[in-house]
Amino acid sequence: MTSRLEPGEQAPAFSLPDDTGRTVTLSDFAGRKVIVYFYPAAMTPGCTKQACDFSESLESLRKDGYEVVGISKDKPAKLATFREHDHLTIPLLSDEDLTVHTAYGAWGEKKLYGKTVEGVIRSTFVVDEEGKVSHAFYNVKATGHVAKLRRDLGIAD
């Protein structure tokens, strides 16, 4: 079983390429709150819905002091296609070797159609201004997730 992060723990540092090849690190967000979410695969229905929801909510989330970054195991080129095809405005990061997924507990055993498989556990983390996890959500649903996250954080729509 992959260990899961708990509120109050230091968020694992990361340094990953985005869809343009630029390196993005967790420390880039120092002094700001950031929502870090992990999704299974670019250009699949649930992941597209979730990424579009975050993109559509980005400006209002920023007004409430939150940045957003999505992480998947997809290659940067696929992420670039995903961004362009769906007009996404959030940073999309590539973690091909699953190091960051594992550090956040977003890779491991899960149930898929009644079978136990190893894969990406759709997860969302809110990291505070000091780099600590303030919220950790595992096995989230793609549809309606942003609205639920806003409610859980006490942010108005």
Q: Which residues are catalytic?
A: 47
Instruction: Reduce the secondary structure of 55-73 to three states and give it as a string.
Output: HHHHHHHHHCCEEEEEEEC
3-state secondary structure of 19: coil
Tokens 């869809």 found at:
19
Long-range contacts of 58-64 (CB under 8 A, 24+ apart): 58/89, 58/90, 60/155, 60/157, 61/35, 61/155, 64/153, 64/155
Tell me 123's DSSP state.
Answer: E
The contacts of residue 52 (CB under 8 Å, 6+ apart) are 86, 88
Give the distance from CA 43 to its chain's centroid: 15
